Chains A and B, each alone.
Chain A
């Protein structure tokens, strides 16, 4: 084919790619292309289909329909090895090299130079040394991989990927474990590869990095293509809007109710107060007061620190700075168990790995936390367990309504309801819900939203995290916005709109060097962001004035 030599032809061209898993359409007719010598980014929230698309390209998943062309030629990979042989190299987020082998062995594994049938160790070391030098890495190829930092290991993984003469290099979240200097080093390497004509797919949820290094980006949402854009032509706020999308609301009345409720914010009613609570590498120290009966929404992109912050409050991870007070008393949370004994429940976003116990029954899953709190020696009587299970199955409309069914056989939405039942059974005063409505159908979503609202009306505090801003706006009395692991705003949900929130999330442009300064910067950001919102977004009917959004606390 003549396409090979044409520099304007895409090196990767995927058309109409669809992939279904049981019950889910992971990709629905997605087009995707990459050009030689460009850095391309694939953007989208969780479940958008980014990794599915990458796995389709690298031969890990077989596609149900659509075509893939590499350098103009149709290909059908039946495994990752074939894709690699064809010039598509992938460096995964989790470095998947062998820590107990040498750097050289890792780089050349499976492609060792041979001489008379035996491995030519000298050639192997020489070739690895050349590759490392190309990346400006001054390390001994004979040293053990495990002795190097994660960042260096990441670069070694890239050296391995380059050695296979890649036409396409896929970097999946390569910077999530790197610090600023290491990121700069990686970017230098990316730029030099780009000059050599390699097409690079850079997947990251750090917007700043995407805007720094990428030329073009493709946005996916819910398995569908939103569009392909040149980075320089797409405003950040528009990007975020495209990633998150807008969903028609089915529960508009809730919104009105949420806003009409007056929360008692006197100190006496303050249930939890986090003061400068933080954890290195997860979330910069931040404040978060939550009153009894208040629903606080955490808004921010994936990786903004929204989950990390919530995990500190739930005792899942330990805070290394700051203080947490529960009803005026300072407490230290070292384990989830301690949080539970203070009636703080944390429902993880990772339902499968951190939520359900799949091989136990619905009943066991519902009583698990309550039973753990009582201790093993005081079992909840069988009759009481059945009552509990039955009442929650009815109240939350769990299907199938069989307490003896194994949880792993339930649908995602019903598993989520079982988890909610588990936490409600301990009668929490603060319920932390991390993405409780992700990946579940619209009906279950509405039920869960309604439940959150009813709970708050009855005096329970709720910390609500969701990637869907409409949902956060609908349910929250107050909204805390996070960006790049900082709290950038803390606002009353009064006159806020999706657009003003988007502005804060995308462009809260604070550059904070020292932990703690985030607080000082926040009010200024609030005002600035509101202006930005009205400037860049089409004005919605209830466009906020600067005065209204300045009602932010702090």
Chain B
């Protein structure tokens, strides 16, 4: 029995799941109907559904970010890519004579996604071919991307009136929010592609020891480009959902700071920023923790002006728990405790 518990605690998912459950518990105390899911107008409705739906864009980006981080990289440009894809889609829809037609929306979405692929290849090129540090390489697009989005929207907030587009952000399918379905598909596809092929192993191998991987014949360059491209693709999907939800493309604010939430989700999920072994399930839990945190702020009634401070406090605690110094100190503390206990036995 204790062996089972020991293995549970040793699991990388242990602390993230404990945190998620703790947040759920806090919500349940503050709001007894927290877990209730009802059907209204044929749609699922409830706090949990809200968490899933609002957390979908972060989760989608975090999935791409997980793979990038596993290669020892990072992608800061996801927020900007999200803004570009939203701006592209909205400007195409606005420029079309039939903004409400399904064909227009299909074209707009396809073009936005294709552009994201180009942006991803650019990031990958900077990192894998030119050898620029990932944080610098993607910083370029992070800053330049918002400018590009601004040019596309001509500095305006583009508001579109297109029911099919709006459906992407706030529609339902069999009672389930479209955003949640899209997130599930992205998550499932990433898990399937990396774990059912050898891609996942190569990504981890390159992240752990690039030179050993090269000598073993792994094509790191192509792999890195593919991973950054996938991450940008995820960012574009998230950007479309965010834009569709408000039916407006805002170059300055769409996906603002979402890169930080995505990175946080990955880290909370137990994937190390030093690269190597990654856990998509961990990232899922991490994204849920972050979104539940935001919800908690409302249910517990923390004033909105204190929201950021509250979030910062939680993030600080997570980072402190995971830091090597803390881990070392905890180990030391336990050892000393053990020693003292041992001495006590001898004395008695």
Chain A positions within 8 Å of B, measured between CB atoms, are 314, 316, 335-337, 340-341, 346, 348, 353-360, 364, 368-369, 371-380, 422
B215–A316 CB distance below 8 A: yes
B209–A376 CB distance below 8 A: no
Q: Which chain A residue lies CB-closest to B226? A: A376
A364–B217 CB distance below 8 A: no
Q: Does B213 count as interface, using CB distance less than 8 angstroms?
A: yes
Say yes or no: A356-B197 contact (C-beta < 8 A), given A336-B217, A372-B217, A373-B217. Answer: no
CA distance A371 to B213 in the complex (A): 11
Q: Which of A357, A358, A373, A374 has the most CB of B within 10 A?
A: A357
A360–B201 CB distance below 8 A: yes
B205–A355 CB distance below 8 A: no
Task: Give the chain B neighbours of A374 by CB distance below 8 A.
Answer: 198
Q: Which chain A residue lies CB-closest to B202? A: A376
CA distance A316 to B198 in the complex (A): 23
Say yes or no: A371-B201 contact (C-beta < 8 A), given A336-B217, A337-B217, A337-B219. Answer: yes
B214–A359 CB distance below 8 A: no
B197–A359 CB distance below 8 A: no
Q: Which chain A residue lies CB-closest to B205? A: A357
Say yes or no: A371-B198 contact (C-beta < 8 A), given A337-B219, A359-B276, A364-B205. Answer: yes
Interface residues contributed by chain B, number (CB under 8 Å): 22
CA distance A368 to B217 in the complex (A): 8
B209–A336 CB distance below 8 A: no
B198–A379 CB distance below 8 A: yes
Task: Give the chain A neighbours of B217 by CB distance below 8 A.
Answer: 335-337, 340-341, 369, 372-373
Task: Give the chain A neighbours of B209 by CB distance below 8 A.
Answer: 353, 356-358
Q: Which chain B residue lies CB-closest to A373? A: B217
Say yes or no: A372-B216 contact (C-beta < 8 A), given A353-B209, A359-B204. Answer: yes
CA distance A371 to B198 in the complex (A): 7
A368–B208 CB distance below 8 A: no
Task: Give the chain B neighbours of A369 by CB distance below 8 A.
Answer: 216-217
Task: Give the chain B neighbours of A422 by CB distance below 8 A.
Answer: 216
Q: Does B111 count as interface, using CB distance less than 8 angstroms?
A: no
Question: Known pairs A358-B209, A364-B205, A374-B198. 9 more at Cβ < 8 A?
Answer: A340-B217, A353-B211, A354-B215, A357-B213, A359-B204, A371-B202, A377-B198, A379-B197, A379-B198
Kindly identify which residue among B196, B197, B218, B277 contacts A372, using a CB–CB cutoff of 8 Å. Answer: B218
Q: Which chain A residue lies CB-closest to B194? A: A376
Task: Give the chain B neighbours of A354 by CB distance below 8 A.
Answer: 211-212, 215
Task: Give the chain B neighbours of A368 by CB distance below 8 A.
Answer: 201, 205, 213, 216, 218
Task: Give the chain A neighbours of B204 by CB distance below 8 A.
Answer: 357, 359-360, 364
Q: Which chain A residue lies CB-closest to B207? A: A359
Q: Which chain B residue lies CB-closest to A355? A: B212
Task: Give the chain B neighbours of A336 by CB distance below 8 A.
Answer: 214-217
Q: Does B184 count as interface, using CB distance less than 8 angstroms?
A: no
